[in-house]
Structures are given as C-alpha cells and as structure tokens.
Amino acid sequence: MAHRKVGLECSRCGARNYTVNISAKQASERLELKKFCKHCQQVTLHRQTR
C-alpha cells in the first residue's frame, strides 16, 4: 500500500503543527483531527494540508 505524508494545519491559527503518514485510501478524503496547538495553547481541529 502506498503511503503519503501530509501536513496537519491548525484550523484556528493556520500553523502547520504535525505531519502524518496516511494511506492512499485515506488521502481521498480530507483528514481532520483534534490535536494540541502550541500556538493556540489548546486542542483545536487540525486539517490535512495536501
């Protein structure tokens, strides 16, 4: 299975805080995860950037 690396961007401040490896299947839909943003100092929704 092919995997690709994508960035996760804070939906609140726009900082790219994480990179994750996802499968090609997952890449077809936009990944959204709740993660801690050090800039916002709280857990925010992070979206896939590419």
Does 37 contact Zn ion by CB under 5 A?
A: yes
**Is 45 a binder of Zn ion (CB under 5 A)?**
no
Which of 6, 8, 9, 10 binds Zn ion (CB under 5 A)? It is 10
Identify residue 31 by its one-letter amino acid code. Answer: L
Tokens, residue 15? 């900082």
Phi and psi (nearest 5°) for 27? -65, -20
d(CA 37, CA 22): 20
Size of the site for Zn ion (CB under 5 A): 6
Contact between 13 and Zn ion (CB under 5 A)? yes
Q: Which residues make up the interface to Zn ion (CB under 5 A)?
A: 10, 12-13, 37, 39-40
